[in-house]
């Protein structure tokens, strides 16, 4: 009996608390409902959409997931239009609240990180009895959420930025000439959101200025005019960003930046801001050891959910919008590999200098391979690398082609390749290219008659050579990958293709 009374009392107290949470005024945010990193981590673990696990998913993957969510019935789902190549574009809606929020992702087909996070969010919204029903209730009562994941499905199919007509949708906000751009415009006019989330990926070579930290997330409250003035609408976006940055700093300290804030009259973020929606641009960047951006996807989930909670409660207004200005702008000083102080001279002309390398991705279906390229040679003190070595005392050493031919990739394994590299071999001839020509061995595989490893380091040449003291090789650079020859190369890391 006593126990029962106590639990009743507790229940009443809890209800009172949540009523307080829901009814608080503008100035006191002490009762704001917030989640901490432990809670966010647990939520993402539980609700992460396992059908999406790398960046090159396609519209068919999204289509199947949409069927699942339709059956669950929590979100109201509508096909709002079709792409140029007739792929369905969907809107998922949740909540009955006064504050209208629009979130759209992947208007650039090769920028998929936030799409994954949105599907994680859908799973969370549909969850129940996990201790977070009060969060869902709050969102549902206060907000009407309109999600448009994968606005550019034709681009996603090719893993390309532009739509099937080669138009950059983010330069079509003013004209609305593309079907996809016109659709987003139309939705904005119909919904008249008070808040907008424009979800993108930026390249992985942006860094926090003068540090070797890749920018993992960059944020922007886009300008609505050339003077980059601040009105109440843009100020709201800045305050939301200050809140998002608080939580990001707990996950990726000093890896957050601002995106270029130049006014772009053709861009959607800029237009949404001028149409009266406090609009936040989220750009997923790079993080060492996260090539498929699964950790960055989690950060998207967290900061979007955090922002929605703040919008629901108005609590973002507690932040000083001028703190937004303290977030540094993206710098572009980062490379995959920087080699410092390498000896590139010859017998008659000395040269000691630095090399910077980047690896471009080339998509093959749902997979890809890279092409390593020397981006720069010279004094690169202001450049940084995901990997850096001091090559003082080391010089360029040409690789050799192994004299024996193998039948296929399968005849080689990592131990053999490591041995070959240590002996100075950079290339191996094989008879069969294999089906998709892709392989994960850090050595040049080729099927032509001949392959000539680079005889010197140049800006346009291939990126395959050794660094050593003239006698012994210490590092191999294979297709832009740096391999320390004293350590067995990593499995499942290299993305190469048979030449
Ligand atoms: Zn983009």
Kindly give the distance from the C-alpha atom of residue 482 to the centroid of ligand 1, in angstroms, as a whole number.
29
Better-scored residue on pLDDT, 413 or 452: 413
The span from the CA of 443 to the CA of 439, in Å, is: 10
The span from the CA of 209 to the CA of 213, in Å, is: 8
Backbone angles phi, psi at 163, to 5 degrees: -80, -175
Q: So what's the pLDDT on residue 152?
A: 98
Q: So what's the pLDDT on residue 11?
A: 47
Better-scored residue on pLDDT, 142 or 23: 142
CB 120 within 8 A of CB 294: no
Backbone angles phi, psi at 466, to 5 degrees: -110, 155
DSSP bridge pairs for 196: 102, 279
**The pLDDT of residue 7 is above 70:** no
Kindly give the distance from the C-alpha atom of residue 467 to the centroid of ligand 1, in angstroms, as a whole number.
38
CB contact set of 72 (below 8 Å; sequence gap of 6+): 126
Question: What is the mean predicted confidence (pLDDT) over 183-212?
Answer: 97
Kindly give the distance from the C-alpha atom of residue 202 to the centroid of ligand 1, in angstroms, as a whole number.
7
Kindly give the distance from the C-alpha atom of residue 110 to the centroid of ligand 1, in angstroms, as a whole number.
8
- DSSP notation for 302-329: HHHHHHHHHHHHTGGGGS-GGGGGGSPB
**The pLDDT of residue 10 is above 70:** no
**The pLDDT of residue 454 is above 90:** no
Kindly give the distance from the C-alpha atom of residue 190 to the centroid of ligand 1, in angstroms, as a whole number.
24
CA dihedral 7, 12, 13, 17 (to 10 degrees): 140
Kindly give the distance from the C-alpha atom of residue 386 to the centroid of ligand 1, in angstroms, as a whole number.
22
- 3-class SS of residue 391: coil
What is Dmax (Cα atoms) for the chain?
A: 97
Kindly give the distance from the C-alpha atom of residue 179 to the centroid of ligand 1, in angstroms, as a whole number.
18
Retrieve residue 1's tokens: 């009996």
DSSP one-letter code for 205: T
Kindly give the distance from the C-alpha atom of residue 216 to the centroid of ligand 1, in angstroms, as a whole number.
15
pLDDT digits (tens, 9 = 90+) for 122-140: 999 999 999 999 999 999 9
Kindly give the distance from the C-alpha atom of residue 391 to the centroid of ligand 1, in angstroms, as a whole number.
37
Kindly give the distance from the C-alpha atom of residue 200 to the centroid of ligand 1, in angstroms, as a whole number.
4
Question: What is the mean predicted confidence (pLDDT) over 34-51?
Answer: 98
Half-sphere exposure at residue 366, Cβ-oriented, CA atoms within 13 angstroms: 8
Band of pLDDT at residue 5, cut at 50, 70 and 90 = low
Band of pLDDT at residue 347, cut at 50, 70 and 90 = confident
Q: How many beta carbons lie within 10 A of that of residue 26, not counting itself?
A: 9
- 3-class SS of residue 266: coil
**The pLDDT of residue 492 is above 60:** yes
Question: What is the mean predicted confidence (pLDDT) over 467-484?
Answer: 96
Kindly give the distance from the C-alpha atom of residue 162 to the centroid of ligand 1, in angstroms, as a whole number.
10
**The pLDDT of residue 292 is above 60:** yes
CB 382 within 8 A of CB 333: yes
Band of pLDDT at residue 15, cut at 50, 70 and 90 = very low
Give the percent of the chain with pLDDT over 70: 94
Q: So what's the pLDDT on residue 22?
A: 43
* Residues less than 5 Å from ion ligand 1, measured at CB: 108, 111, 200
Better-scored residue on pLDDT, 463 or 443: 443
Alpha helices in 401-484 (DSSP H): 414-422
Kindly give the distance from the C-alpha atom of residue 198 to the centroid of ligand 1, in angstroms, as a whole number.
9
**The pLDDT of residue 427 is above 60:** yes
Kindly give the distance from the C-alpha atom of residue 173 to the centroid of ligand 1, in angstroms, as a whole number.
13
CB 357 within 8 A of CB 477: yes
49: left (phi over 0), alpha (psi -120 to 50) or beta: beta
**The pLDDT of residue 414 is above 70:** yes
The span from the CA of 67 to the CA of 298, in Å, is: 23
Give me the residue label for tokens 């909540």.
Answer: 95
Retrieve residue 58's tokens: 């396609």
- 3-class SS of residue 428: strand
Kindly give the distance from the C-alpha atom of residue 108 to the centroid of ligand 1, in angstroms, as a whole number.
5
Kindly give the distance from the C-alpha atom of residue 271 to the centroid of ligand 1, in angstroms, as a whole number.
15
CB 292 within 8 A of CB 53: yes
Burial of 285 (0-12, 13-18, 19+ CB in 10 A): buried
Kindly give the distance from the C-alpha atom of residue 126 to the centroid of ligand 1, in angstroms, as a whole number.
28
Band of pLDDT at residue 457, cut at 50, 70 and 90 = confident
- 3-class SS of residue 482: strand
Kindly give the distance from the C-alpha atom of residue 481 to the centroid of ligand 1, in angstroms, as a whole number.
27
Half-sphere exposure at residue 216, Cβ-oriented, CA atoms within 13 angstroms: 26
Q: So what's the pLDDT on residue 24?
A: 41
Give me the residue label for tokens 């006593």.
Answer: 2
**The pLDDT of residue 8 is above 60:** no
Kindly give the distance from the C-alpha atom of residue 491 to the centroid of ligand 1, in angstroms, as a whole number.
31
The mean-pLDDT minimum among 19-28, 303-312, 339-348 falls in 19-28
Kindly give the distance from the C-alpha atom of residue 199 to the centroid of ligand 1, in angstroms, as a whole number.
7
Kindly give the distance from the C-alpha atom of residue 119 to the centroid of ligand 1, in angstroms, as a whole number.
19
- 3-class SS of residue 142: helix
CB 329 within 8 A of CB 257: yes
Q: So what's the pLDDT on residue 461?
A: 67
The span from the CA of 402 to the CA of 12, in Å, is: 78
Band of pLDDT at residue 2, cut at 50, 70 and 90 = very low
Dump strand ranges (E) for 36-186: 76-82, 88-94, 99-105, 143-148
**The pLDDT of residue 394 is above 90:** yes
pLDDT digits (tens, 9 = 90+) for 44-76: 999 999 999 999 999 999 999 999 999 999 999
Kindly give the distance from the C-alpha atom of residue 232 to the centroid of ligand 1, in angstroms, as a whole number.
26
CB 115 within 8 A of CB 106: yes
Q: So what's the pLDDT on residue 25?
A: 41
Mean pLDDT score of the chain: 93
Q: So what's the pLDDT on residue 66?
A: 98
Kindly give the distance from the C-alpha atom of residue 338 to the centroid of ligand 1, in angstroms, as a whole number.
27
Q: So what's the pLDDT on residue 452?
A: 80
- DSSP notation for 4-71: HHHHHHHHHHHHHHHHHHHH--SS--TT-----HHHHHHHHHHH--TT--STT--HHHHHHHHHHHHH
Kindly give the distance from the C-alpha atom of residue 61 to the centroid of ligand 1, in angstroms, as a whole number.
21
Question: What is the mean predicted confidence (pLDDT) over 428-447?
Answer: 93
Band of pLDDT at residue 1, cut at 50, 70 and 90 = very low
Number of H helices, E strands in the chain: 11, 21
């Amino acid at each position: 009996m006593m126990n029962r009374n106590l639990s009743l009392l507790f229940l009443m107290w809890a209800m009172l608390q949540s009523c307080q949470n829901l009814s608080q005024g503008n100035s006191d945010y002490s009762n704001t409902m917030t989640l901490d990193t432990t809670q966010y981590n647990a939520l993402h673990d539980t609700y992460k959409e396992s059908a999406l696990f790398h960046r090159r998913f396609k519209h068919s993957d999204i289509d199947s997931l949409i069927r699942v969510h339709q059956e669950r019935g929590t979100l109201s789902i509508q096909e709002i239009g079709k792409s140029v190549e007739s792929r369905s574009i969907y809107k998922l809606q949740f909540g009955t609240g006064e504050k209208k929020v629009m979130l759209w992702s992947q208007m650039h087909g090769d920028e998929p990180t936030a799409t994954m996070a949105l599907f994680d969010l859908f799973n969370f919204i549909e969850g129940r009895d996990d201790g977070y029903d009060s969060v869902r209730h709050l969102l549902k009562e206060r907000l009407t959420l309109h999600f448009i994941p994968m606005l550019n499905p034709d681009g996603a199919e090719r893993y390309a930025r532009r739509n099937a007509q080669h138009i950059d949708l983010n330069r079509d906000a003013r004209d609305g000439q593309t079907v996809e751009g016109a659709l987003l415009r139309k939705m904005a006019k119909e919904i008249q959101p008070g808040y907008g989330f424009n979800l993108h990926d930026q390249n992985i070579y942006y860094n926090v200025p003068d540090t070797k930290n890749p920018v993992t997330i960059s944020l922007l409250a886009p300008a609505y005019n050339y003077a980059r003035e601040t009105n109440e609408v843009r100020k709201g976006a800045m305050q939301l960003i200050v809140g998002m940055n608080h939580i990001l700093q707990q996950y990726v300290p000093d890896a957050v930046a601002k995106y270029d804030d130049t006014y772009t009259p053709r861009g959607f973020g800029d237009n949404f801001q001028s149409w009266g929606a406090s609009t936040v641009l989220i750009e997923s960047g790079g993080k060492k050891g996260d090539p498929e951006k699964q950790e960055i996807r989690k950060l998207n989930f967290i900061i979007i959910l955090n922002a929605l909670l703040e919008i629901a409660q108005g609590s973002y207004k507690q932040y000083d919008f001028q703190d937004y200005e303290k977030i540094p702008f993206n710098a572009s000083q980062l490379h995959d590999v920087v080699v410092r102080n390498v000896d590139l001279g010859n017998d008659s002309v000395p040269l000691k200098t630095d090399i910077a390398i980047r690896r471009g991705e080339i998509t093959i279906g749902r997979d890809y391979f890279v092409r390593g390229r020397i981006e720069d040679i010279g004094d690169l003190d202001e450049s940084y690398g995901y990997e850096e070595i001091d090559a003082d005392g080391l010089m360029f050493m040409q690789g050799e082609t192994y004299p024996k031919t193998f039948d296929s990739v399968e005849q080689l394994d990592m131990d053999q390749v490591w041995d070959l590299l240590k002996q100075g071999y950079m290339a191996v001839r094989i008879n069969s290219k294999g089906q998709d020509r892709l392989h994960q061995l850090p050595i040049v595989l080729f099927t032509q008659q001949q392959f000539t490893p680079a005889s010197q380091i140049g800006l346009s040449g291939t990126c395959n050579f050794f660094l050593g003291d003239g006698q012994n090789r210490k590092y191999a650079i294979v297709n832009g990958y740096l391999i320390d020859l004293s350590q067995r190369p990593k499995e499942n890391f290299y993305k190469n293709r048979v030449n």
